[in-house]
Amino acid sequence: MKKTAGSKKSLILFSTVAVILLALMPLRATAQEFDFQKLQQAAEKYTVIVNIKIEVSFGMHSTEQEERYLGTIVSEDGLVIFNGAALAGESPMPSFAGYSLKTTPTRIEVVTMDDRTYEAEFIGADRFTRIGFLKITGAEGEKFEPVRFATGQSFEVGNWFTLYMLMPEFISPPVSVDIGMISNIVTSPEFFPLTVGFNQLQATSVLYNIDLAPVGVLGGLMNPTESMDQGGLLESFGQIGIPLLGVITGERLEKLIADPPHKGKPTSGWLGITLQALTHEIGQFWELDIPSGIIVNDIVKNSPAERAGLEVGDIIFEINGQQLEIDKDERIPIFQREISELGQGTAVEFTALRRTGQTQDTLTLLTTLQEAPMAATDAPEFESELLEFKVRDLVFSDYLFYNLDSEQLKGVVVTELKPGGLAEIGGLMIGDIIQLIDERTVLSTKNVETIMGDVETLRQDEVIFFVWRDNKTLFVNLKTDLL
């Protein structure tokens, strides 16, 4: 029988796959050395199931959904980690860019492997690892058995790991094991033991080595060339659906557990500059001897950068003695992330080049990083059910986005309007900065809450808003329908 070209290709593909599988068989035998019975006895003490009811809102519209995750107790007082990607996805852009998607946990339940049930509260999610943190409540005085992550581990290609994954709710027992191995040791943009054999649904599951030591959790590799928003995970390679998953090590987890992220409480480090990359072309034009770095374009008033003595035009090429390999703008987030993860209160040494005329001076500058400004999604909010609008406090990114002076312009920003609601009909717009309501000064959402409460008590039939919009001020007259 004559073979077609298609059948030949299929035969070649089958043969190639067979060779690969045969090559892996000796390694696969190593995976059978896991003592799963012993592992179960240890893991069931701190492994839990997390049931979360989440409110998802877009503008004034919202819906609820239920999620189920595998969690791990990491402290005696009931701190739990889990896959917090669903709760770390709020848009960091200023709300006057339009409606923002928000996810808010409304009810959390933690169930242990021996069927004890506790209520819990959401603390926060790490923006880089997507690890979420919960705290068990209502268990006063009770001590829990936490996992103890091993540190100082060496990772090599071919090392085998196992983890527990959560089964569908209708299956008992609720967890099952899976195995995988290290396929590569990534060194840039960060140290990251890359794995194969696992999938994204297993994110934040504890990884155990052949000695059953918990060496970390499964996580995704951050793409430093993406923006610094919550969506910076490199979820595929070359957009062909190959997840870049690997080990978030015990060392990194220890830092997170010791100081977990708290929603609404920034802990990231902040320098206070705007910047661009020192490209090869710019370096050649200026006849510089340094291959890469960052050029300071602007400095925020009263920031750590200003206190360090940095000036516009300075070129930072080392941080704490390490060369900055920033030679194109796409790599700027590497520097931003490093500053962010150093954290507030960290002393930092910069080596910078200052060009003055035809001379070049090398400077060593010291500063202490400041707490990062609050993000728009963490700012206090108030919703007026009477006039059907929502506002939040102004944050640093608002002033930066519109090039405003924070000492001159005060107020709250309109973030949401109910379609066809009284505020929208009356002419209020998303992005308006409310400065006065009925000639009463507005500095925060608390002021708005107080004023709108008085409006309802007095049963006013109209309210006059004084707002800033598009670099000009105007009055907006809203009817209340209270009379």
Q: What is the CATH number of the domain that holds 187?
A: 2.40.10.10
Same domain, 98 and 167: no
Which position has the higher pLDDT, 334 or 294? 294
Q: Give the pLDDT confidence score for residue 71 in this predicted structure.
A: 97
Is 390 contained in some domain? Answer: yes
Which residue has better confidence, 233 or 6? 6
Question: Which residue, 347, 371, 395, sits at the end of a domain?
Answer: 371
Q: Same structural domain for residues 237 and 280?
A: no
Residue 403: per-residue pLDDT: 78
Checking if the pLDDT of 227 tops 80, the result is no
Counting the structural domains of the chain, the total is: 4
Verify that 123 and 153 share a domain, yes or no: no
Do 71 and 123 sit in the same domain of this protein?
Answer: yes
Q: Exposed/middle/buried for 306, CB within 10 Å: 0-12, 13-18, 19+? A: middle
> Mean pLDDT over residues 316-325, rounded?
93
Output the pLDDT for position 264. Answer: 65
- Report the alpha-carbon distance of residue 238 to residue 233 in Å, rounded: 13
Residue 263 lies in a domain: no
Answer whether residue 248 is part of any domain.
yes
Cα 89 to Cα 45: distance, rounded to the nearest angstrom:
31
Which tokens sit at 273? 């500059």
What's the N-to-C CA distance of the chain in angstroms? 91
Q: With residue 177 as reference, give the H or E element that holds it.
A: strand 175-186
Q: Between the CA atoms of 337, 340, 346 and 352, what dihedral angle is there, to the nearest 10 degrees?
A: 50
Q: What is the DSSP letter of 166?
A: E
Residue 160: phi and psi, rounded to 5, are: -100, 145
CATH code for position 308: 2.30.42.10
Q: Are residues 317 and 350 in the same domain?
A: yes
Looking at the fold, whether 292 and 315 belong to one and the same domain comes out as yes
Q: Residue 404: inside a domain, yes or no?
A: yes
Residue 163 placed within a domain: yes
Q: Does 11 reside within a domain? A: no
Q: Is the pTM of this model over 0.85?
A: no
In this structure, the answer to whether residues 117 and 164 fall within a common structural domain is: no
Indicate the residue among 344, 371, 398 that finishes a domain.
371
Mean pLDDT of 259-284: 86
27 in any annotated domain: no
Is residue 276 located within the same domain as residue 230?
no
How many CB atoms neighbour CB 66 within 10 A?
9
Q: Note whether 421 and 346 are same-domain residues.
A: no
Question: Is the pLDDT score of 3 beyond 60?
Answer: no
Q: Is residue 5 part of a domain?
A: no
- The verdict on 156 and 242 lying in the same domain is yes
Q: Please give the Cα distance from 203 to 71 (Å, whole number).
A: 10
Residue 342 sits in the same domain as residue 285:
yes
Q: Which of 109, 137, 165 is the last residue of a domain?
A: 137
Domain that holds residue 344: 269-371
Rounded Cα gap, residues 71 and 162, in angstroms: 16
Confidence at residue 454, expressed as pLDDT on a 0 to 100 scale: 96
pLDDT given for residue 353 in this prediction: 95
Do both 337 and 281 map to the same domain?
Answer: yes
The CA-based angle 125-269-414, given to 5 degrees, is: 65
